[in-house]
Structure 1
Amino acid sequence: MSPEYKMKASLKLIMILAGILICQPVFSQDNGLRLKEIFKDAFYIGTAISYRQASGEEQQAWPLLEKHFNSITSENMMKWGPIHPEPDRYNFVSADQFVELGKKMNAFIIGHTLVWHQQTPKWVYQNEMGESLMKEALLERMEKHIETLVGRYKGQVHGWDVVNEVFEDDGSYRESEWYQITGRDYIFKAFQKVHEMDPEAELYYNDYNLWKPEKREAAIALAQELRKKGLRVDGIGMQGHYMLDSPPVEMIEASIIAISNAGFKVMVTELDVDVLPRPRANEGADLNKNYALDEKFNPYTTGLSESIADKFAKRYTDIFSVFLKHQDKISRITFWGLHDGASWLNNWPVRGRTNYPLLFDRNFKGKEEVIQSISPSKF
């Protein structure tokens, strides 16, 4: 082979490689573009953090977090049960790790959640004899819990989901033990106490299915009442637990507009898109509902079919078209999990399934077609 031929072959190879690189999708995992930079002029891009991610055990998570996200939310580690399992015992290890991770990322840190009817130990509502507490005793216990947590992370956690999911879908108050014992006073006292402990932190009310008009209006009315009482409430978190064909994006948009028009920040707090069939047509996020595993509810164990993958990409495109249209009203979009393997939807409402609801797969690779489709440049 002559030197001239070798040179021509080398030049041809270089040109081929250059062409390949030029044609690569702009969101390739190997380039420098990041979700948080793509949306920097729109809103924070966040994700929920698991125990394994906070501790560093899931080593592949940290580079992905640092590259793509500028906000993080504690998925479970700050809920009452995990962090305060017994009356005189707190477990701060994972929560401390979570906060330190946020500091390393220079992220907007969200504490989730201080008062909720789920994942709250029975002892919280009972005295030493197992009898229900009186109203004042329960409120005092709640305030002490808030004082301890918010006091510990004062100036470090930037926003708190103070109270979570107090409404039924029809807008009526949930008959939780909090409500049965204290009425609505626990809500007012919780917001008051958090602000006392950290006056600089943003405070939110958070709930699912706020695309439903009755529930949305109830949440807005509650937030307005809080302000009338002189209490701080900055925004309303719309949990974005959506499915491939529900809810209509027009209803999501209507709630964004209504919340903003009422004078509150909007944040989409728990975004994912469930691609799997459900035993019932239930678009909620009620952890009390769980069904036995059946193969017909777990059809994509080795990957999505092409038609479902296309529907998934289109669904995210349609949702983000609304978010970007109203970016002046939205302060944060938080995905509920970093990657498909870490999603709660693998176990709800049916345990042991294989779901694909997020922008990154189980191998920590971005779903480039979907990510490209939601870029502001596409709209």
Structure 2
Amino acid sequence: MPKSEPALKDVYKKDFYVGAALNQRQSSGQDAQATALIRQQFNTISPENLLKWGPVHPRPGQYNFQPADAYVAFGQQHKMFIIGHTLLWHQQTPKWVFEDEAGQPVSREVLLQRLQEHIRTVVGRYKGKIQGWDVVNEAIDDQQGALRKTKWLEILGEDFAAKAFEFAHQADPKAELYYNDYSLYRPEKREGVIRLVKGLQAKGIKVTAIGMQGHYGLRQPTIEQVEASIVAFAKLGVRVNFTELDIDVLPNPSRRQGADVSENYAADPRYNPYPAGLPDSVQQQLARRYADLFALFHKHRDVIDRVTLWGVTDADSWLNNWPIRGRTSYPLLFDRRYQPKPALPAVLQATGSARPAGH
């Protein structure tokens, strides 16, 4: 891209980190064009999959650290703020974690031991290198804001999150520790997260930041809804991160908003309307949407530490395959040819229309 354009990380340097989630080809340096773009634009990275339990700890006593080592080395080489994602989640956790050799549920003691050993090993390996961890991911349900019914809750009870944070803090006392979830603009989920974090704080457990995933559409949620959650979370005395930002421009077969990866639908051309390219009118809507969001982030730069896009280019996005496989999706700032979309200059100029936060 033209050198005259300033980089995202430079425009927002005094405000917050700007980052991207990397896939394994990118973090291992196999995608030279992506490496150039990441170095130029971003100063923080997150791993899309390689530090989730399944990929990094597939079998008892067996760890697969090679991809994660390469990811961390990439971040260090380019002087990035490196994020670890994620230690406790109900998805992408192998069945063996919750079961004994006979396939029966393990006891609370055994599961706690497994959780502690996993966190001690993974966080300990990258102590002082990975600066922030998504400790607990998506533990609040979509409807009521209650704790999600998972094996973690079923076997460990309601203190599973407290235990995960305690173990992570023991493994690296200096690392930032986060709670991360989607659809946190919804009042029920917001209140659920506030209850969870207050409960942790009451036990003396420090939560550095709440990660709002930011899987949004062109119109939903409204800027006011997102802002209400930024303000509510800041009142807890925690920072706010936008951890998985992307804008889905395609029609949604489900009326539910969010990122529940278990929801999938059959292919239907109605839901893949732009296989040959995004019409200019939609490009402009996307640019305006990104500009509005970054103006909001800039306004609240006193409490926001980081804004991370979930992918580098449109080709990398998980939205090409969710909730319908094989769609042509356009949710990010760079297109499939690694070129900036109209949304990029819109984001670079968004600081001009923002005013300092009023809290």
| TM score, norm. by length of structure 1 | 0.91
Distance in 2 between residues matched to 1:263 and 1:151, nearest whole Å? 27
Per the alignment, residue 45 of structure 1 pairs with 18
* 1:259 and 2:214 aligned: no
* 1:182 and 2:148 aligned: no
Please point out which of 78, 87, 91 is paired with 1:114.
87
Per the alignment, residue 217 of structure 1 pairs with 191
Q: Figure out how many residues of one structure are paired with residues of the other and give that number.
A: 351
* 1:155 and 2:155 aligned: no
Query: 1:28-67 residue pairs with structure 2 within 5 A?
Result: 28-31=1-4, 33-67=6-40
Distance in 2 between residues matched to 1:29 and 1:126, nearest whole Å? 54
Please give the secondary structure, in 2, of the residue aligned with 1:313.
helix
Please point out which of 58, 62, 67 is paired with 1:89.
62
Amino acid at match of 1:362: R
* 1:268 and 2:242 aligned: yes
Distance in 1 between residues matched to 2:288 and 2:260, nearest whole Å? 26
Please give the secondary structure, in 1, of the residue aligned with 2:84.
strand
Please point out which of 114, 117, 138 is paired with 1:165.
138
Distance in 2 between residues matched to 1:56 and 1:134, nearest whole Å? 42
Please point out which of 305, 320, 342 is paired with 1:346.
320
Please point out which of 332, 338, 352 is paired with 1:377.
352
Distance in 1 between residues matched to 2:288 and 2:302, nearest whole Å? 23
Shift of 1:32: 6.1
Please point out which of 287, 292, 296 is paired with 1:318.
292
Per the alignment, residue 4 of structure 1 pairs with none
| TM score, norm. by length of structure 2 | 0.96
Contact 1:64–1:364 (CA under 8 A) maintained in structure 2: yes
Please give the secondary structure, in 1, of the residue aligned with 2:190.
helix
Contact 2:134–2:179 (CA under 8 A) maintained in structure 1: yes
Distance in 1 between residues matched to 2:299 and 2:222, nearest whole Å? 16
Amino acid at match of 1:107: M
* 1:146 and 2:94 aligned: no
Shift of 1:208: 0.4
Contact 2:145–2:189 (CA under 8 A) maintained in structure 1: yes
Distance in 2 between residues matched to 1:121 and 1:81, nearest whole Å? 6
Distance in 2 between residues matched to 1:260 and 1:217, nearest whole Å? 13
Amino acid at match of 1:377: G
Shift of 1:348: 0.5
Per the alignment, residue 307 of structure 1 pairs with 281
Aligned-pair identity (%): 50
Distance in 2 between residues matched to 1:179 and 1:244, nearest whole Å? 34
Alignment gaps of 5+ in structure 1: 1-27
Shift of 1:29: 3.0
Contact 1:29–1:366 (CA under 8 A) maintained in structure 2: no
Amino acid at match of 1:192: E
Distance in 2 between residues matched to 1:56 and 1:193, nearest whole Å? 32
Distance in 1 between residues matched to 2:145 and 2:155, nearest whole Å? 20
Q: Deviation per CA, 1:226-278, whole angstroms, max 9, x where unpaired? A: 12211121110001000011011100000001101111100000000001111
Distance in 2 between residues matched to 1:219 and 1:318, nearest whole Å? 25
Please point out which of 70, 86, 97 is paired with 1:124.
97
Distance in 1 between residues matched to 2:284 and 2:256, nearest whole Å? 23
Distance in 2 between residues matched to 1:75 and 1:366, nearest whole Å? 21
Contact 2:334–2:344 (CA under 8 A) maintained in structure 1: no
Shift of 1:282: 2.0
Distance in 2 between residues matched to 1:293 and 1:58, nearest whole Å? 29
* 1:71 and 2:71 aligned: no
Q: Deviation per CA, 1:102-157, whole angstroms, max 9, x where unpaired? A: 10111110000000000001111000111111111111111100011011000000
Per the alignment, residue 357 of structure 2 pairs with none
Amino acid at match of 2:214: G
Shift of 1:378: 4.5
Q: Root-mean-square deviation (CA), in Å?
A: 1.1
Per the alignment, residue 303 of structure 2 pairs with 329
* 1:296 and 2:295 aligned: no
Contact 1:238–1:269 (CA under 8 A) maintained in structure 2: yes
Contact 2:210–2:238 (CA under 8 A) maintained in structure 1: yes
48-57 or 215-224: bigger deviation: 215-224
Distance in 2 between residues matched to 1:39 and 1:320, nearest whole Å? 10
Distance in 1 between residues matched to 2:119 and 2:338, nearest whole Å? 35
Please give the secondary structure, in 2, of the residue aligned with 1:91.
coil
Shift of 1:302: 1.0
Amino acid at match of 2:41: H
Please give the secondary structure, in 2, of the residue aligned with 1:60.
helix
Amino acid at match of 2:243: T
Query: Which of these two proteins has the greater Rg computed from alpha carbons?
Result: 1
Distance in 1 between residues matched to 2:158 and 2:137, nearest whole Å? 13
* 1:246 and 2:220 aligned: yes
